[in-house]
Each structure stands twice: as structure tokens, then as C-alpha cells.
Structure 1
């Protein structure tokens, strides 16, 4: 009896460890049928780290991304393989991590979405230069 209780306890502990899920530290992941490729970011940035893009410190900022879906038509043909094709007419709401909305955009025929904002609209005010 004592031996079977030990086996049951070991199985329950193993099942409880197997059910643990590691959360992504960068963003809340939601299953999406499309790939969002941030234009100007390093390849693989949405998967491996936060995508970073350099912008000029004056004027406006244009946030641009491409929306792609996988075309699996030739998945069994090793000479062609899977291809990424642009997705048109996908509405998106772009928000900051704080939840503040920057705007809503819809992808064009090439699967590109763009949003142009000034630094002030993004919450960054220019710093004064020169003598005070």
C-alpha cells in the first residue's frame, strides 16, 4: 500500500511539472494567422527579441510593418516549398504597452501598414538645447 502511494505521488508531481507554461517576457502572445514583419528591424526580431528600429530625432516617425501569411500550396514539393504572401485588408489597432491607442490602420494590397506620428504624439517632447 505504501509503495503504490509513493508511485501515485511521483506521477502526480510529474504531471504538475509537465503542465507548467513559460510566459514570454516581451509581449502577450495571441495566436494569429499572419506574420507581422517590422520594416527596418533585424531579421527574426519579433521572435527572438524586441524589434528595434532607428528613427531620426526630429520630425515625424513612420511606423511600418508587413503582414504575411504562409502559402502552403507546395508544401510537399521540396523544389518549391512554403512561401510568404502579403495579406490585404487586415484592420489593426496599434497601441502602446500602457494601453494607449496610437491609431487604427488597414493593410494595403502589398500587406503593408503604416502609421505616421510626431514624437510629441508618442509622448516624447524635444529637449531644449543651448544656454538656459
Structure 2
């Protein structure tokens, strides 16, 4: 190391670059890998346009729970044309399975109609709450496959 100042600068740069590249390590991404959903699951009774959070629908403990949603495909053909924008096309004849997230038990297996709608009415007991109390909530999964790509939308049903 005594004569390092006598080495040509290009060799020092090459040595530095080699050491820098050798010290790099490929690290796995710490975040969950995500795939964009092929459809939009718009759950009825929730705030429109809020697709970043887990929607919660509240029902009284005396009544039944109506689980309904619209399944839409987003046609992005006119994405760059501000006068037209993105179209929401109903997805017909697609099987949707609603399950309890905690146990994986199937609540309902439904098929979308021509307007992309599904709906089912359930009792609190069928959702796993024998005696519903205000504040109880049930986490649900809305799952299906569209164009060979699986998707899942999360939601909750709570007792008023």
C-alpha cells in the first residue's frame, strides 16, 4: 500500500468499481409481491371509489345480512383520451366465492348475472355469530378467477 499513489488513476478507478460491484448483494423485496386484479369488485353499501381500504358494511343485529357486489372489468382503451376515460364493463357468468377469512368456511358460491351483479342474504348465525353484539365484525373474502387470473377482495360485515 506504500506505492498506491504511483498507480495510474484508471487502475484505481477500475479497482474501486470492482470492489463496489463485488460488495453488492441481491436482496429479496421485503414487501409482498402484488399482481393487479383483472376485475374491480365494487361491494354494495360501501363508499364509492375507496378501493385502497377494506370496506365495512354495518347491519342491525335483528335483521339479515345482504352481501352484494358488482364485478366490473376496466376497459382502459381510452385511458389517454380525457373526453372518454376508462369504461367499467360488467363481468357476466363469473363464479365468485365468499368465504369467512378466519376459518375459510364458504359462505356462498355465486355466479354474476349479465350486469355483473351478485347478491345473497344470510343470517348472522350462518356467518358464525350465534349471538351478534354491537361492534362484532366478520372478515370476508370475495374470490374468483377471470381470464385465468385469480383475484380476492377483502371486506368486513359489522353489527350496528
Q: Provide TM-score, normalisation by structure 2.
A: 0.63
Structure whose residues are more often strand by fraction = 2
The alpha carbon displacement at 1:30 in A equals 5.8
| CA–CA separation in structure 2 for the residues paired with 1:126 and 1:89 | 35
Secondary structure of the equivalent of 2:131? coil
How far apart, in 2, do the equivalents of 1:41 and 1:2 lie? 60
* Counterpart selection for 2:72 from 63, 68, 74: 68
> Per the alignment, in what secondary structure is the counterpart of residue 54 of structure 1?
strand
118, 122, 126: which one aligns with 2:131 = 126
**TM-score, normalised by the number of residues in structure 1:** 0.74
Among 108, 111, 114, which residue is 1:109 paired with?
A: 114
Runs of 5+ in structure 2 lacking a partner? Answer: 1-13, 134-160
Which structure 1 residue ranges, 5 or more long, are not aligned? none
Aligned to 1:94: 98
* Corresponding residue for residue 7 of structure 1: 20
Q: Quote the Cα distance in structure 2 between the aligned partners of 1:23 and 1:125.
A: 35
Partner of 1:33: 38
How has the CA–CA distance of structure 1 residues 21 and 68 changed in structure 2, closer, same or farther, with 3 Å as cutoff? farther
CA distance in 1, matches of 2:29, 2:91: 35
Per-residue deviation, 1:31: 4.5
What residue is the counterpart of 1:84 in the other structure?
Answer: 88
Q: Which residue of 2 aligns with 1:23?
A: 32
**What secondary structure does 1:6 align onto?**
helix
Q: How far off is 1:127 after superposition?
A: 6.1
SS at match of 1:74: coil
1 or 2 for the larger relative contact order (CA 8 Å, sep ≥6)?
2
> How large is the RMSD of aligned CA atoms in angstroms?
2.6
CA pair 56-33 structure 1, distance change in 2 beyond 3 A: same
